[in-house]
Structure formats: structure tokens, C-alpha cells
Structure 1
Amino acid sequence: MDPVAEFLADRYGRWACGWNWSVGEGDVDGGVVEVWCCSSDSVSTPIATAPLVVEALQEWRGWLEDLAERFAALAPPGNTTAPSADCWYWERACTRLVTVVADRTQAESGWYGHCMQVLEWFLAYNGIDEQRAREIVKSAVGGRFGSWIAPDVTVVDAVSSHFAQTVAKN
């Protein structure tokens, strides 16, 4: 962990670790933070760099808060993972989350890594064990996404359908 991320995580909590997860190719690429690129491009003087770090942290926090709202809105009724849960809710959630992550990351370098993480977070939000969530997402995505290209509708539909069917079997 870099010293700034370590400081921010110690000060604010683990959520702050994504402060420099930049769009495109940066120190940590495939993320949603637009204000920060990488140390070589973003760090200058302490007076100039500190506000960029703060802005990047706020941008990251805003993204996490946006995801929390989306997770609440997309959760199946009763926030249940019972087999009787309607696959439609899981499929709709996957489609919307893949779409918003592709948009926010601009589908640039390594965006699909964060997309898979967001899907795992959504499953965890809904009470699915971390290891099982990872298996579900890996099975659903299965290498269908690539860097520098947003998935087309048929790919998103296939991923979302597989995601929903696998969750419903849980």
C-alpha cells in the first residue's frame, strides 16, 4: 500500500483505499477517479498535491455512496437470497451495475476488474458469502469483458442472465 493510501485508511477507514483508483492507466487503473492519474503526473508540490488528493478521496467516496444507493434500490424484495427470489431482480441489478461501471470507468484499461468487484460487493450486500460471490461473478463474466471497450448489449445480457441464474441456485 502506498504511504498516502495507508495514511488515509488509518485516518478514515478501509474505504479510503480506493482514492487513487484512476480511470485509464494510472498507478491503479480501471477505476472511477478522474482527478488523479498517477504519481508521476499528479504529484508536484505539497501545496498543489494535497488538494488533488482530497478531491480524489471525495470523488471515490461519492462513488461508494452512489453504489450504496444503487445496491439498496436494486436489492431483491426482502433483501433475500432464497432460491425463490425472482431471477429478474438479479438480472436487472447485474445489467445496471455493469452498465454504470463501464460508463464511470469509461471502459478503459482494466475497467472490468472494478466491475467484477462491484458485482461481488452487491452480492455481499445481499448476504452472499465472499467466496461464493467471487465464484458467481467469475462464472458469469468468464472473460467476456476486455480493456478499452464497453461490452455490447448481447454480452451484458449474457453475463446478466448467467449471473441471475447462478445466484438463484445459491
Structure 2
Amino acid sequence: MDEWAEVDPARHPFDAAEAADVIRRLAPPVPPAAPVPRPRQHLDEAAWAASREADRLASDWNAAMTDALMGHYGRWAYGWHWGPRSLWHYFSQIVTSGPETLTRVAAALVDWRQWLEEVAERFDRLLPALADAALAGPDAALAAWEAAFAELLTAGSAWAEDADYWYGPCRRLLTWLLTAAGLPTDRGVALVDQVLAPWLTRWAYLSAADVADVAERLARDVVGRDPGALAGPGQSGDDWPDTWPHGWPSFRATNRLPRP
């Protein structure tokens, strides 16, 4: 789900008060709870086999639950099990009694939706500011994009409860902003993946210096390498739709260079 339109709450109705009832109606039978794990050194082969089977059943159930939610709500619901706050995991230990499991699913789905609504509120503020900055000139555009990226990186890191998992929320936020502004999805994904690559294997939150570095690099890739001019032929900015900043978002980009 790299395109903001796929998860934009404005496009996908949702009633949090009805979520628990919907999930109880859609859910496949909940598998048995996993056996209580014992200290690793005491696990014999039978215990390991039981644990692996419980993991398999829980994973299969998780996939079936996800398919059911997507069928009812749309593709945005896919993220219910990897929201920024860790209310759900694939691990079989999270599957307990049937009622408790479904309650946790509902809580995770509502939490995911609330996060998307928070993101939408940010975008409602950031996107008009970016459009105004584009009209003001390249230097203003560069500064506005850099500030927007820094804000999203800071928010994404704060939302991730574990230092190992900052990358997912940050990557999604940056890509969603670019696609919401009208950049083609494949180009937005490529830019974000390229700029985040040096930090991919760092299992720690981004420092303030890291945030500033990533934000500056990505802003220059979006606007153009030369801070005194918008991107010209052969620079990253060529993929902007020819309607930017008027009439955005638009996925029409007649000014794109042909691919080799």
C-alpha cells in the first residue's frame, strides 16, 4: 500500500463503533491458544513441534482475517496488524480465547484507522503549504518539502513503539505524502527507498541529525539537486505531473522522460 489513495480515510467510510460486531461476523474460527512456552532449554522435540504448529495455525488465521477485513472495508484494512502501535503480532501467543482474540483484532483495526486519520489531518495541512511554496519559487519549495519530510520522519519514529520498527511507518508516511501530492507511485517509492537505504539496517531510532539529513536529501531529489532551480531534464523532479501545483493531485505526467 504505497499509494495514499488506497488508505485515505476520506475515500473509505468506517464506523469504529461497529468494528467489533463486523469482526465477530467476518472472523473465521479462532484456532486453539498456543501452549504456554517453557524455558528454551527445557523444550523437547514434541514441544517445538507443537509450538511450530500453533504458529502456523495462527499465521493462517491472521491471513484469513486480513482477507475478510479487506473484502469488507477495502485495501486500507490490510494494515490492521502492523499499525504504529503494537496491539497485534503474528506470533501465536497473541491468539488466546476466541472472544479475547477478536477483541484484540477490533482494537488493532480501530487503532490503525485512527492513525490514518491523524496522517490525513497532517496532509490536509502540509499539502496546501507545499503547493503555495511551489508557487513562491524553488527555494521556498525546497524548504517546504524539507520541513514536511522532517515532520513526518519525527512523527513516524515517535509512533513506532520499538526502535527496530521506525522504518516502516517512516517509509509509508514519506511515500504517501509524495503520492498524495501527485508524484507517480513507482517514482515516489524509488525516491524514498533510495534515500532511506543507508539507514535500513540501523536498529535504532533516527537521531535529529539523521532526520535532517534524510529530509534534506529527499527534498533535493524531489525539487532538484540545484537549490537555486527546480529540477530540469534528467533530474528527479521530472516525474511531477504537469498540473502541479494547479489542479493537484493528478496522476497525469506528460513531462516524464521515457524509460530506457
The 8 Å contact of residues 112 and 146 in structure 1, kept in 2 or not, is answered as: no
Q: Does 1:49 align with 2:101?
A: yes
Give the 3-state SS of the residue equivalent to 1:2 in structure 2. Answer: helix
Tell me which of 60, 64, 69 is aligned to 2:112: 60
**Structure exhibiting the larger radius of gyration computed from Cα positions:** 2
Tell me, in whole angstroms, the C-alpha distance in 1 between the residues paired with 2:222 and 2:162: 25
Q: Alpha carbons of 1:125 and 1:79: their partners in 2 closer, same or farther (altered >3 Å)?
A: farther
The 8 Å contact of residues 81 and 127 in structure 1, kept in 2 or not, is answered as: no
The unaligned stretches of length 5 or more in structure 2 are: 1-61, 225-236, 238-260
- % same residue: 30
Tell me, in whole angstroms, the C-alpha distance in 2 between the residues paired with 1:157 and 1:145: 16
Aligned-residue offset at 1:46: 1.5
Alignment match, 1:11 = 72
The 8 Å contact of residues 134 and 141 in structure 2, kept in 1 or not, is answered as: no
After the TM superposition, which of the residue ranges 75-84 and 123-132 deviates more from structure 2?
75-84
Give the 3-state SS of the residue equivalent to 1:50 in structure 2. Answer: helix
The 8 Å contact of residues 95 and 160 in structure 1, kept in 2 or not, is answered as: yes
State how many pairs are aligned.
161
Alignment match, 2:92 = 40
The 8 Å contact of residues 108 and 147 in structure 1, kept in 2 or not, is answered as: no
Aligned residues: CA RMSD: 2.2
Aligned-residue offset at 1:138: 2.1
The 8 Å contact of residues 20 and 33 in structure 1, kept in 2 or not, is answered as: no
Q: Alpha carbons of 1:107 and 1:39: their partners in 2 closer, same or farther (altered >3 Å)?
A: closer
- What letter matches 1:144 in structure 2? W
Aligned-residue offset at 1:146: 4.2
- What letter matches 2:78 in structure 1? C
Alignment match, 1:26 = none
After the TM superposition, which of the residue ranges 134-143 and 3-12 deviates more from structure 2?
134-143
The unaligned stretches of length 5 or more in structure 1 are: 22-30
After the TM superposition, which of the residue ranges 139-148 and 39-48 deviates more from structure 2?
139-148
Give the 3-state SS of the residue equivalent to 2:123 in structure 1. Answer: helix
Aligned-residue offset at 1:106: 2.6
Q: Alpha carbons of 1:39 and 1:81: their partners in 2 closer, same or farther (altered >3 Å)?
A: farther
Tell me, in whole angstroms, the C-alpha distance in 2 between the residues paired with 1:128 and 1:162: 17
- What letter matches 2:196 in structure 1? V
Q: Whose relative contact order is higher, 1 or 2, with alpha carbons under 8 Å and at least 6 apart?
A: 1
Q: Normalization by structure 2: what TM-score? A: 0.57
Aligned-residue offset at 1:148: 3.6
Tell me which of 160, 164, 168 is aligned to 2:219: 164
Alignment match, 2:232 = none
Q: Normalization by structure 1: what TM-score? A: 0.84
